[in-house]
A and B are shown apart, each in its own frame.
Chain A
């Protein structure tokens, strides 16, 4: 089998726009799942609402496309009721950080044995480009026409603080690193959170001088900094550039977890 065999072919074509980064993230996730050697019948994909959350519909395992923001609460029920199932959650920045914020921190705190892949495109794509808790300050969206004024949630730092066993952030440009991070997440007992910054040329790039797909991918490539590098800079007393987003592995630990198969 290859990762392509996990797709539900009769559901294609998908709904994603030209140049969307979500397909890359789904491919990386399925590649990691395939590398785990998991059986289709023992694996469940769960999601909330939004572009990211349409992913499980294209995968041929059992899948639960739930209500907006609540995927982690549904996933907690699935995993605790049957720990034998491998449960992977797809979510987005609006789904996870805004309406689902409470479920996010509590799922991290419980350290339920789930792997969560968050496609953070910094915008509400499905509803046409409204600002999210991850829209960068100053960015234009349909609900921040004069530039986003609210500070951004750092989802990975939040997951670390709230207690997740494994946290990593990459982008849809960093395909190999992202795939590896998802695999480590799948291997790690407890709650694993992988944040994937993705391009949304249609709802984000178009309004923020990143009109070409390649512009947004370049933005993701050049606006990140390895987390190890930021740590070294801090140790040396150097200023960490504020406009760069740290990527890499944020934490890997072994706190007591729930729903781990016996």
Chain B
């Protein structure tokens, strides 16, 4: 039997991770993500897992990557300043195709900014923040329930595609206590092991190599240098570099419609909200308070890779409205994938858009 619980988003995230088989957590305290580390510190040792508080966020993500190479389901959780510190090793995880989960409980930036206020200001950083070309997966919960469900999903995606996967939440969802349903059982899709006789960095059909876990006799050399399919450094061969980087990008991008996770309301509407994370709740409130078949809603649970084809579901659309708790980040994706007018509704300061603010926009329609 599933259980009903009342918990904050951060706890739901930690519980989701444990349900997904997370057995290694490396982290560093930072508001507003700390409850995740605290919960893991209590729970992991009792499940024969490892919790370690590292000396900083650079070390946290490094330890997580190291643990992952021994086969562990490993994660860290942080917020903006710590996320910035992790960027180099995130690129290392991308290059070495190391599965791991990185939770970013976003707060107002830049810099130390607003530690106790919510924001969605790191949405481009999680996609482009480390140097070089790459692609990645980012999930955006809009409730405690989604914190649980999407954290489970993040582990499965990380193992399936062999990359760092981001749970891009925020202070509002992390600290809101609400009802969630904890299922008896969650689906766990383990990473595919490397078959003997196969090269450790050969992409195969889907571009994702089998995983050569340390200690299993694979004798794999893992390096952040450009490497050939054996894993050996080949940092000056243009062809090897291009082949590798194109595979790292295409293994994600070619699967983006398969990866997509979303909810569509009123697909025939002319005015369509596109949201992820907390503004999703405000839009739902507006649509509840002012029922109107001509107002549609595309709620994205996975923002990267951006599933641009979903915009075409709304065949009668005349306008897209994109409320975000930033100066306008994901709205750029919407704009570049449609010729229709797109209304940006940026919000800074840490508070949610109010239903009134969004309803006034609807009333102002021509």
Of B26, B65, B66, B92, which is in contact with the most chain A CB atoms at under 10 Å from its CB?
B66
User: Between A and B, how many residue pairs show CB distances below 8 Å?
Assistant: 123
From the candidates B52, B59, B68, B216, name the one contacting A70 in the complex (CB within 8 A): B59
The answer, yes or no, to whether A202 is at the interface (CB within 8 Å) is: no
Give the interface size class of chain B: 35 or more
From the candidates A41, A56, A57, A77, name the one contacting B215 in the complex (CB within 8 A): A41
Cα A13 to Cα B68 in complex, Å, equals 31
Residue pair A73, B219 in contact (C-beta under 8 Å)? no
B residues less than 8 Å from A41 (CB atoms): 215-217, 219
From the candidates A40, A77, A80, A102, name the one contacting B219 in the complex (CB within 8 A): A40
B residues less than 8 Å from A64 (CB atoms): 66, 69, 214, 222
The answer, yes or no, to whether B276 is at the interface (CB within 8 Å) is: no
Cα A79 to Cα B50 in complex, Å, equals 11
User: B interface, by DSSP: helix, strand, loop or mixed?
Assistant: mixed
The answer, yes or no, to whether B190 is at the interface (CB within 8 Å) is: no
The answer, yes or no, to whether B88 is at the interface (CB within 8 Å) is: yes
| A-contact bits for B149-167, CB 8 A (1 contact / 0 none) | 0000000000000000000
Residue pair A85, B214 in contact (C-beta under 8 Å)? yes
Query: Closest Cβ of chain B: how far from A30's Cβ, in Å?
Result: 15
Cα A82 to Cα B74 in complex, Å, equals 13
| A-contact bits for B220-253, CB 8 A (1 contact / 0 none) | 1111110000001100000000000000000000
Cα A213 to Cα B215 in complex, Å, equals 39
Cα A77 to Cα B60 in complex, Å, equals 9
From the candidates B54, B64, B92, name the one contacting A67 in the complex (CB within 8 A): B92
Which residues 62-98 in A have Cβ within 8 Å of B in the complex? 62-67, 70, 73-82, 84-85
The answer, yes or no, to whether A61 is at the interface (CB within 8 Å) is: yes
Find the B residue at minimum CB distance from A75: B66
From the candidates B74, B212, B222, B223, name the one contacting A77 in the complex (CB within 8 A): B74
Instruction: Sample 14 A-B pairs with CB under 8 A, ordered by A number.
Output: A8-B219, A56-B221, A64-B222, A65-B225, A73-B54, A74-B66, A75-B66, A77-B67, A78-B70, A81-B66, A81-B71, A85-B214, A85-B215, A106-B59
